[in-house]
Amino acid sequence: MTQWNRNNIAAAALLGIGVLLGLAVLGGFTVKAVERFKGYERTVTVKGLAEREFPADIAIWPIQFTAADNDLAALYQTIASSSEKIQKFLQQQGIDAAAISVSMPSITDKSAQQYGGNENSPYRYTALQTVTVYSDKVATVREAMNGLANLGRDGIVFSQGNYQAQPEYIFTRLNEVKPLMVEEATKQARSVAEKFAEDSGSRLGKIRRASQGQFTIGDRDKNNPHIKKVRVVSTIEYYLAD
């Protein structure tokens, strides 16, 4: 074997060793990168709940009453008089006149109805009238509700059990309480995630993904519709690290 051949073989061997060393180093870096990538992909998803009760700040109170007569003009006079009495009562209770509205009366002529069934009715005309209160004085409105029945002594017949005549309470200050409730839900979610990380022998990392969730507003219970329960659930995904 000539000296030239021996030199070529030695150079090829050195090149091969260099390539192998390079691949080994690159493999080491690759393994560490994969391990680091897998570490980043270890996550935990938790939910945090915030729930609070607030008083409603708007009251909508439809007051419906009925009247009947055989004389249409007299019927209109009756409902107008009853409407005035109701409005006067409400203002005496501290409800502003601007918060009271009166709708057009609904008049039914029983003799003009297509189908029968009214033979036993002593009156030809019946009327349904609605006086509506829309006020931010919720406590004042609720107090007035307790005394409305006294107007029955003046001959006003109130419509009871009508779904459309049920009072409604609204909570409009959601934007005011949102930041505090989101913070509370986020803290609760992090507390749960930290407990999970501790139990699994890991450390809690940064947030990977977060969803605030939707706020819901409902009555506290059927007997207290003027007290609203506000609820939000936040869903947060955290990275876990060793």
**Whole-number pLDDT of residue 160:** 73
Same domain, 50 and 84: no
Same domain, 162 and 180: no
Query: Pairing relation of β-strands 157-158 and 216-219?
Result: unpaired
Least reliable range by pLDDT among 90-94, 148-152, 222-226: 148-152
Between CA 75 and CA 105 the distance in angstroms is: 10
Neighbours of 100 (CB within 10 A): 19
Most confident region among 13-17, 31-35, 182-186 by mean pLDDT: 182-186
Least reliable range by pLDDT among 59-68, 158-167, 182-191: 158-167
Computed over its alpha carbons, how large is the radius of gyration of the chain? 38
- Write the CATH number for 165: 3.30.70
Same domain, 117 and 164: yes
Range of the domain at 100: 58-169
Same domain, 9 and 89: no
Of residues 162 and 219, more confidently modeled? 219
- Span 43-57, pLDDT tens digits: 999 999 999 999 999
Same domain, 77 and 133: yes
Same domain, 241 and 202: yes
Same domain, 70 and 161: yes
- The values of phi and psi at residue 110, to 5°, are -65, -30
- End-to-end Cα separation, the chain, in angstroms: 58
pLDDT at position 175 over 80: yes
**Whole-number pLDDT of residue 28:** 47
**Whole-number pLDDT of residue 16:** 54
Q: Residues 6 or more apart from 23 whose CB is under 8 A from it?
A: none
